[in-house]
Amino acid sequence: MSQWRRPARLLAVLALLVVGSGAGIIAQSTGNKAVVDDPDFARAVKEWTTRPEFSSPLVDHLPKVAGIPSPKDVLGHHIGEPKKLTYYSDTLKYYRALAAATPRVKMQTIGKSNEGRELAIVYVGSDESIRNLETYRGYLGQLADPRKLTDAQAQEVIAKAKPIYFFSGGLHSGEVGPPEMLMELAYRLATEDSPLIKQIRDQLIVAILPVADPDGRDRNVDWYYKYGINETEGRTTGAGVPYWGKYVFHDDNRDINYSQVEMKALLDWYLQWHPPIMHDLHQAQTLLYTFSGQAPQNPNLDPILYGELPAMANFEMSQMTKYGMPGVWTHGFVDMWSPGYLAFMSSNHNGMIRMYEIQGTSGANTTKVRLGNPNGTGANGVGGPATTGRGGAPSGAGPGADPAAAAAGRGSQATRDWFRPLPATGEFDWSLRNNTNYGETGVLTALQYTSSFPKIILENFYIKTKNSIETGRKETVAGYVIPSGQRDMTRVERLINLLRLQGIEIGRATAEVKLQEGTFPAGSFVIKRDQPYSRLAKTLLEKQVYPDPNLRTYDDASWTMGLMSHAEVKEITDKKVLDLAVEPVKETEIHLAGTLTGTGSMVAVAHNGSNNMITLRYRLKDLKVQAVEKEFKQGDVTFPAGSFVVSGETARVKGEVEKLGLTAVALSSAPQVAMHDLDLPKLAIYSIWGNTQEVGWVRYALDRFEVPYDLILKERVKKGDLKGAYDVIVLPNQGGSGKRVVFDIENRGQPIAYKKSDEFKNLGMYGESDDITGGMGLEGVAEFEKFVKSGGLLVTLGAASFFPTEFGLAPKVDAARPSQQFYAPGPIIDAEILKPEHPIFYGYDRKTVPVRYGNGPLLSVQTNANPFEGPPLTPPPPAQSILMRYPGGDEHVLSGLMRGANEIRNRAAIVDEPSGKGRVIIFAGNPCYRWQNFGEFNMLFNTLLNFNDIKTEAPKSAGTAPAQ
């Protein structure tokens, strides 16, 4: 039989080996309280654990202590009971009760979620650690910025300090196990008196974020009790809950600019507490994957980190293997390239990101896992049900895609490999308690390692920080200058604030700056690399040079902030930058006020590409606002095409212009150029039910820029008369294909409602439906066609652009897909503007602009060529309706990776196709991606503001141009 089958007697011996004598097996004492194990717990856990090897001597028992509530005392059941999941308020209730009962636990509120739920950190440690939490916070703060310490002083701090080890659960709401497990962990750490737990308690402070996305947690628990609890095998219901958090699903783990309030609250907490290790607990892999930072690795991070990560992962793998737990592995899954994962905030600040993927269940149901056998036959890969819900598939590089796994050499999960010494094989039941056992054994083992070497962890944290300051002095890139006096300073303001958000030090030059790279005006922003977060500054600002085009990456290959923002950022190699006189930017958020000069009853506001232009328009919605169609000058201010002319209430306009950082001049009479009224569109954002995340990012951007809209779903489309209600409908990137946009979630015979009720209060938000399956169908397509033909403007982004092209709404536009060899995990590439006079490009002053490649369709536009004429002798001009195209080829890849860049050569990036009285504007890319590509946002915003002012028409005959 399987070699890991573990005789019961060996189990006891292992327990002794691991943690010394009597690990939770016999009665022990803690101060005055007698600690005995709870027999009811041991019995229940044994019953719920589907095989003996799916447990460990660390978690098969739990102390019972008078006066200190165990999870069961508050929740009514032990952690891991089948068919039991805990709502967030009950989770907080438990931690609060625990904190009230023992001086070893403390709770701190760190903010509020989007839907108003309290965000909390729970600290667990010895009585002394918790009493002196502020002192320990101070020590870590000193190590996090050691510029004021000598090495000897640093050693003194290290001698007194304790590492904070941070865990989060529930970052991904469909991954339901870890938030349950963490409650038991906190209780165990506070109450158990085994040598191991005592060592952890004495040497470390454990900080727990109980649920990273509490809004999504409650929606998922509702959904589980409404549908999931009745499922027998897999997801028979056929759909997951349509929303997790207010805006995003998995992307809360890719929120590189910390847009979501939950992620920002954690970052703010991080910069106060500096935990050297942050560990996110996910569930997806068989049976426990522990992250070790595989290639491609971000080369800016300290090499020490790349030693630490596999050291800890290997310790966990060998310990858990020693306990006989199969399926613990490392390597071969997530890489160390993108800095956008949540716990990466620690690595970005000289600490350590850690991550587990634990085998999940379908909600809290026990479900079958089917794996191959060790000889490689049978089912491959992960068995069991999807645990993350539909619509949860991460975008970008497609982490769910198995080709990535294959390329990474992961092979079958049932196969033994150097990074998987004891694979799980065959077919077995998997329970929520198994998930708890694996997760808790893993984290206790991580804590065992850390508490065995606490001073090494601290010393490494200190050295990595010190190295960050020193490499900044030694490396070629010595700093960055973000020049003042850029045409649009609002994008500079945003960029500075995003860097400040992450704790990066920035100064403003007190005089004109002369460096090898150029001369920059006084007031320019200077980022010197001799600072603790110099590596992070470089990572965010440099062009990403992908190390090996044959390697795939789990998420985006590039994020260069200057390119994404269309802001000028100068990389500086001149070491003089380190000695420049600067005034430090002390604020965490700067504001560069706008200006209004002159007098008069009208105000001209220059459209220099600020995303705030649309906010201004909406703040002045009751005033007459026009857009000029040609450039004009007033004094020494140039007003490009698209600039606003606002009539009346000059004082109020001035206030808004200043707040929004814009440039304006008051006029006594209207400029002598053609103008059109900027009417406000009745705007709808359309979402399918099965893929709401990318829609969520567009909703988020519109909310931030104060653009009102209706979120509409198939229910509204089927009612008809879309034109009566809306002028513009935007279909954000969604679905992946035209068919998915139209037919959406498959109906498996029973309706699936998403509605609020007294029992399920968290459902029915951001849309409501008696049946989310089936999609809008062909009747919905017909309604969209009526909308366009009767004068509506339909705008489609990214993959949603397959919808108008495949369903006949833009008959001349075809959408294809690239070859299998093509691979473009979000590179930044050149795009060429072909119709600079089109309102969509108001505020853009260059012909070629950087855009994020969005992996939408390869568009081509048929012209009126006579198919019988044969091929043309000279290359034809692009079709008139193509507004922007991708030049393609490797030479136009600006940052990151695009494999097969020739496949997109001269492909249309934006097409404006008139249809009936209306038009369809088709974006191949995604101009509103994850609160990142701010430089492209205006292509969408201009479309909205000028919805009824777009006058281009496809020519009657475009010569003999064939498809582009």
Give me the least distance between CB of 457 and Zn ion, in Å please: 25
Quick one: tokens of 646? 């606002």
Return the number of the residue (338 or 468) whose C-beta is nearest Zn ion.
Answer: 338
Return the number of the residue (224 or 644) whose C-beta is nearest Zn ion.
Answer: 224
Return the number of the residue (282 or 538) whose C-beta is nearest Zn ion.
Answer: 282
Return the number of the residue (172 or 219) whose C-beta is nearest Zn ion.
Answer: 172
In this structure, the strands spanning 513-515 and 518-520 are: antiparallel
Say how far residue 701 (Cα) sits from the centre of its chain: 14
Give me the least distance between CB of 845 and Zn ion, in Å please: 42
Q: Decide if 83 contacts 365 (C-beta within 8 A).
A: yes
Give me the least distance between CB of 808 and Zn ion, in Å please: 39
* Cα 85 to Cα 294: distance, rounded to the nearest angstrom: 34
Return the number of the residue (175 or 785) whose C-beta is nearest Zn ion.
Answer: 175
Quick one: tokens of 517? 């790279």
Give me the least distance between CB of 152 and Zn ion, in Å please: 43
Give me the least distance between CB of 82 and Zn ion, in Å please: 22
Give me the least distance between CB of 423 and Zn ion, in Å please: 22
Give me the least distance between CB of 774 and Zn ion, in Å please: 29
Return the number of the residue (324 or 385) whose C-beta is nearest Zn ion.
Answer: 385
Return the number of the residue (252 or 913) whose C-beta is nearest Zn ion.
Answer: 252
Return the number of the residue (172 or 892) whose C-beta is nearest Zn ion.
Answer: 172
- Would you tell me how many other CB atoms lie within 10 Å of the CB of residue 668? 9
Q: Decide if 247 contacts 398 (C-beta within 8 A).
A: no
What is the residue type of 475?
Answer: E
Q: Decide if 482 contacts 496 (C-beta within 8 A).
A: yes
Judged by CB under 5 A, the chain residues 161 through 190 that form the site for Zn ion are 172, 175
Return the number of the residue (78 or 172) whose C-beta is nearest Zn ion.
Answer: 172
Q: Which residue is nearest to Zn ion (CB)?
A: 282
Return the number of the residue (243 or 644) whose C-beta is nearest Zn ion.
Answer: 243
Contacts of 656 (CB under 8 A, 6+ apart): 616, 619, 620
Judged by CB under 5 A, the chain residues 68 through 97 that form the site for Zn ion are none
Give me the least distance between CB of 185 and Zn ion, in Å please: 18
In this structure, the strands spanning 683-686 and 728-731 are: parallel
Distances (CA, A) of 935 to 334, 610, 678: 29, 9, 22
Return the number of the residue (175 or 656) whose C-beta is nearest Zn ion.
Answer: 175
Per residue in 321-336, is it b (16+ CB within 10 Å) or e — as a string?
Answer: bebbbbbbbbbbbbbb
Whether omega for the bond prior to residue 163 falls within 30 degrees of 0, making it cis, is: no
Give me the least distance between CB of 433 and Zn ion, in Å please: 20
- Residues in contact with Zn ion, shown as a per-residue x/- string from 290 to 329 under the rule CB under 5 A: ----------------------------------------
Quick one: tokens of 735? 């679905």
Map tokens 């040079």 to a residue.
545
* Cα 567 to Cα 486: distance, rounded to the nearest angstrom: 8
* Cα 108 to Cα 303: distance, rounded to the nearest angstrom: 34
In this structure, the strands spanning 663-667 and 595-597 are: parallel
Please calculate the CA angle 502-507-513 and round it to the nearest 5 degrees.
Answer: 140
Return the number of the residue (289 or 754) whose C-beta is nearest Zn ion.
Answer: 289
Q: Alpha helix locations (H) across 28-147?
A: 39-48, 71-75, 88-101, 127-131, 133-144
SS3 465: helix
Please calculate the CA angle 665-667-673 and round it to the nearest 5 degrees.
Answer: 100
Give me the least distance between CB of 306 and Zn ion, in Å please: 23
The pair phi, psi for residue 453, each rounded to 5°, is -130, 50
Contacts of 850 (CB under 8 A, 6+ apart): 563, 564, 566, 828, 829, 830, 831, 894, 935
Partner residues linked to 48 by β-bridges: none
Give me the least distance between CB of 276 and Zn ion, in Å please: 23
282 binds Zn ion (CB under 5 A): yes
Give me the least distance between CB of 357 and Zn ion, in Å please: 7
Return the number of the residue (341 or 520) whose C-beta is nearest Zn ion.
Answer: 341
Q: Give the range of 88-96, 276-284, 445-453, 734-742 binding Zn ion by CB under 5 A.
A: 276-284
* Cα 439 to Cα 433: distance, rounded to the nearest angstrom: 10
279 binds Zn ion (CB under 5 A): no
Q: How many residues bind Zn ion (CB under 5 A)?
A: 3
Return the number of the residue (394 or 780) whose C-beta is nearest Zn ion.
Answer: 394
Give me the least distance between CB of 174 and Zn ion, in Å please: 8
Give me the least distance between CB of 213 and Zn ion, in Å please: 10
SS3 506: coil
Return the number of the residue (343 or 540) whose C-beta is nearest Zn ion.
Answer: 343
Per residue in 358-394, is it b (16+ CB within 10 Å) or e — as a string?
Answer: bbbbbbbbbbebebbebeeebbbbbbbbbbbbbbbbb
The pair phi, psi for residue 653, each rounded to 5°, is -60, -40
Q: Give the range of 281-289, 593-601, 870-878, 891-899 binding Zn ion by CB under 5 A.
A: 281-289
In this structure, the strands spanning 710-712 and 683-686 are: parallel
Give me the least distance between CB of 540 and Zn ion, in Å please: 24
Return the number of the residue (175 or 316) whose C-beta is nearest Zn ion.
Answer: 175
SS3 358: strand
Binding residues (CB under 5 A) for Zn ion: these are 172, 175, 282
